[in-house]
Amino acid sequence: MKKLTLEKILQSQGFGTKKSCRYRVLDGLVEVGGEVVDDVLAEFDPTDLAFAVDGEPWQYREHVYLALNKPTGVECSRRPAVHRGVLSLLPDQFTARDVQPVGRLDHDTTGLLLLSDDGNFIHAQSHPKRHVPKTYAATTAEAVTSQLVARLTVGVKLIDEPEPLAATARQIDTHRVEITIDMGKYHQVRRMLAAAGHNCVALQRTAIGVLTLEALGLAEGEWCYLDAAQIALLKAD
């Protein structure tokens, strides 16, 4: 990759305007290889470049791919209307570099959410024709029965829509059922459960494709970078 000045590297990573990044360098706030670099004309190969800004370590990434365990009461929007936005859970640098949610979770749904600034990745993961499977754990007010599981896998009738069905469904415990769907209709899981006579009182997305929240080990509100192997699994689905 072509060498870039440090101010351009910082700007590409979301640390502000070119001018503000230049002053970070001039003020001695940027380190490369453990050494302060205050020369604005110094150039570096950004590929896998490790640096620190104000003492916080960072690594150059052409694009970022993130996983977040979204808590309840958070909107998947850059312009939230009622609740706080999901980007408030991330460092400001990600907002500056236009990181966006890949699809959406309702404000009262928790669990696995992907975010990225790679438009091609977002489009590929969100396109309905791709049928990316997503798995949810739903808690119901009524006891889960074998009849409910059967109805979900056969299909339930929703108003003005074809009968959606779960790709898989299984009972987790007395009041929880795991449902995998490969389409993303509005409130689909909650509406399917309601059509089958069960009120969904809590909903958590536990997996996207083969990427699971359990394997990521994220507590609610926590996020992490996805590594190359995890990204490849998502792209391969």
Catalytic residues: 106
What residues pair up with 158 in beta bridges, in sequence order? 161
Structure tokens of 40? 């604005």
Pick from 212, 144, 135: nearest CA to 176:
144
3-state secondary structure 97-129: CCCEECCCCCCCEEEEEEEECCHHHHHHHHCHH
Residue 79 to residues 82, 91, 105, 117, 126, Cα–Cα distance (Å): 10, 17, 15, 16, 19
What residues pair up with 43 in beta bridges, in sequence order? 5
